[in-house]
Amino acid sequence: MSASLAPECNEVKEKYDNCFLKWYSEKFLRGISTNDECKPMFDAYEKCLSKALSERGIDKMLAEVRQDNKENDAEHMKPTK
């Protein structure tokens, strides 16, 4: 597994990664489950990462880049026919 962008989130990211890989390989690929049982762990990681990005001011830069690329995103996210 790779480390988190925020070292303080490494532990929660590792828990999520392990959960997801186990669920994906043992349940999803075998058609046993389509519900992501690891979502609560992902939410915890996302919360930790968002806090870390905010504390470093990176969240503002991301918002700015997203705004600047809104048209590009819309073009590339169009459904394919």
Per-residue model confidence as pLDDT tens digits over 14-61: 999 999 999 999 999 999 887 889 999 999 999 999 999 899 888 888
Answer whether 25's CB lies under 8 Å from 31's CB. Answer: no
Give the total number of structural domains in the chain. 1
Of residues 75 and 46, more confidently modeled: 46
12 vs 73, residue with greater confidence = 12
With a cut of 90, say whether residue 66 has pLDDT above it.
no
Contacts of 73 (CB under 8 A, 6+ apart): 66
Position 18 in a domain: yes
Structural domain containing residue 66: 7-77
- Domain membership flag for residue 38: yes
58, 38, 39: which is closest to 50 by C-alpha? Answer: 58
2 within a domain of the structure (yes/no)? no
Does a structural domain hold residue 23?
yes
The verdict on residue 1 lying in a domain is: no
Structure tokens at 49: 């990462």
Domain contains 17: yes
What is the structure's pLDDT at 44?
97
* pLDDT for position 73: 67
Q: Which residue has the tokens 């997203």?
A: 66
What amino acid occupies position 69? N
Instruction: Give pLDDT, residue 24.
Output: 93
